[in-house]
Structure 1
Amino acid sequence: MTRWLGVVWLVLACALPARADDAQPLRITQQSHEFVVQTPGGPMVIKRDKTACGAPLGFIQPLVPQPGVTPVSELDVLNALNDRATLVVDMRDEDEPLEATIPNSYHLAYNELEDRLDVLGCARLGKNLWDCAGAFKIVAFDYGPMCIQAPTGIANLLRLGYPVSQIYYYRGGMLDWEGLGLTTVAGNRPLPKAPATQ
């Protein structure tokens, strides 16, 4: 019963507008604060209200952050958590221990990837040069649909030569995971130097 009350509270909190004094318009896309829809009653402007769950600095991320990256759902993430050939990676940039993350996931911040591809199965060839022939399949996530951290990390991985066929993106992130009432754990679980064998 308590768990259901928590889920109801989270859903209501996410649906309610926050303080009215947030004067700066929130972005829907990187370039736009509004979207005009032609309805039978005339044009209607869609804007974004600040909610308790919405990050004001973010904007809606595409379902496919880079061409060739595979989007996944919660069911895919659940299956990946038991797949020894897949690493579920929390790409949020947090210096302090995470209050909540997906169980059995690893923490590797999006802005630390350039020096850490070895833990994802790549071999260093030189400064920012990697051989990723043995790269693990990864499922990347962050705070949720408004967060740019995992998409930025994915773009960095591709720039460094990580194979796009090995990258999966859970856009829902922690916002959707917690909104569905799925179990979370606290703490940052770092990737070991040599992850489990593929």
Structure 2
Amino acid sequence: MRISRHILPVSIALSLCAAPALAQEVRLAPDELSRQIALANGRVVTIQREQDQSATLSGEFTKTSRACPPFCIQPATATPGVETVGELELIDFIEKNVASGKGLLIDSRLPEWYIKGTIPGAVNVPFTTLEASNPYRDEILKALGARQTGGRWDFTGAMQLAFFSNGPWDGQSIHAIKALTSAGYPPEKLHYYRGGMQVWLLLGLTANKPTS
């Protein structure tokens, strides 16, 4: 029995169409490979996971142990009323709040950490700048949407904020959150990504070096 030379290519094409998607695709979720977000400043960021399944962490974030204090395990809740979020919720926050200009993703670390790499869409507001002792703290509150009337702060129009730092062993973001709530910032407008850069990178998620 002879097989027509036209049939063989067709059968190969059909078998390729029936094959499952590439096994090496590492997705954000079963139905989502990546997320592309247009930020309020006009910049477009893409958040995805490392596709090389043999990739490993390197440098500072490979450590499992650090002296405590100061590098102590942080609580799951930053302070009462503040929502703790995971990676997918943080990506949703960037898309819903940062992209629309209604919120900020805040990297609470000192600048020398920030410039090494940060979560796409984040701005650097070091935790120390939010302390009451900072003479410029009030200007930061105003930039976040708070208004001062009659010697009191009105946070009605204040932004939604999400904070992170280096990881579950780093208290910089919690210090920032507590400084804001002490000033009267509504806890329901604050969000805490406890995983920080270490867990973000451990999951192979996109990190960017700031351009300015």
The answer to whether the superposition gives a TM-score over 0.5 is yes
Residues 114 and 124 in structure 2, CA contact (< 8 A), matched pair in contact too: no
List 4+ stretches of structure 1 deviating above 4 A: none
1:159-192 residue CA offsets vs partner (Å, 9 max, x unmatched): 1010011011000011111111111111276xxx
| Map 1:14-93 → 2, pairs under 5 A | 14=62, 26-27=67-68, 57-83=70-96, 84=100, 85-93=102-110
Does the Cα contact within 8 Å between 1:86 and 1:137 map onto a contact in 2?
A: yes
SS in 1 for 2:52: helix
The answer to whether the aligner puts 1:165 opposite 2:188 as a matched pair is yes
Same amino acid, percent of matched pairs: 30
CA RMSD of aligned residues (A): 2.9
Contact (CA 8 Å) 1:7, 1:180: kept in 2 or not? no
Any unmatched runs of 5+ in structure 1? 18-24, 31-56, 190-198
Specify whether residues 94 and 15 from structure 1 end up closer, same or farther in structure 2 by C-alpha distance, changes over 3 A only. Answer: closer
Opposite residue 107 of structure 2, the aligned amino acid is: D
Q: Choose from 143, 166, 191 the match for 1:143.
A: 166
How much does 1:14 deviate?
Answer: 2.9
Native 8 Å contact 2:81 2:188 kept in 1: yes
SS of the aligned residue for 1:157 comes to: helix
SS at match of 2:175: helix
Map Cα deviations across residues 57-87 of structure 1 (whole Å, 9 max, x no partner): 3101101011111000000111111122232
Rg larger for: 2
Deviation at 1:95, TM superposition (A): 5.2
Shift of 1:118: 1.6
> Residues 78-157 of structure 1 correspond to what in structure 2 (within 5 A)?
78-83=91-96, 84=100, 85-94=102-111, 98-113=115-130, 114-115=137-138, 116-125=140-149, 129-157=152-180
Deviates more, 1:81-90 or 1:63-72: 81-90
User: How far did residue 145 of structure 1 move?
Assistant: 0.6
- Contact 2:84–2:191 (Cα < 8 Å) also in 1: yes
SS in 2 for 1:7: coil
Inter-CA distance 123–176: structure 2 relative to 1 (3 Å threshold): same
User: Is contact 2:111–2:124 with CA below 8 Å preserved after alignment?
Assistant: no
Q: Secondary structure at the match of 2:106?
A: strand
Consecutive unaligned residues in structure 2, runs of 5 or more: 1-23, 25-49, 131-136
Candidates 32, 35, 52, aligned match of 1:4? 52
Per-residue CA deviation, residues 26-61 of structure 1 (Å, 9 max, x unaligned), is 33xx6xxxxxxxxxxxxxxxxxxxxxxxxxx31011
SS of 2:95's partner is coil
Q: Do the aligned partners of 2:106 and 2:122 also contact (CA within 8 Å) in 1?
A: yes
**Secondary structure of residue in 2 paired with 1:81:** helix
Q: Is the alpha carbon distance of 1:87 and 1:97 closer, same or farther for their aligned partners in structure 2, counting shifts above 3 Å?
A: closer
Give the structure-2-normalised TM-score: 0.62
Q: Given that residues 57 and 201 in structure 2 are in contact (C-alpha distance below 8 angstroms), is that contact kept between their aligned partners in structure 1?
A: no
Q: Is the 8 A contact 2:161 2:189 kept in 1?
A: yes
Query: Equivalent residue for 2:20?
Result: none
Partner of 2:14: none
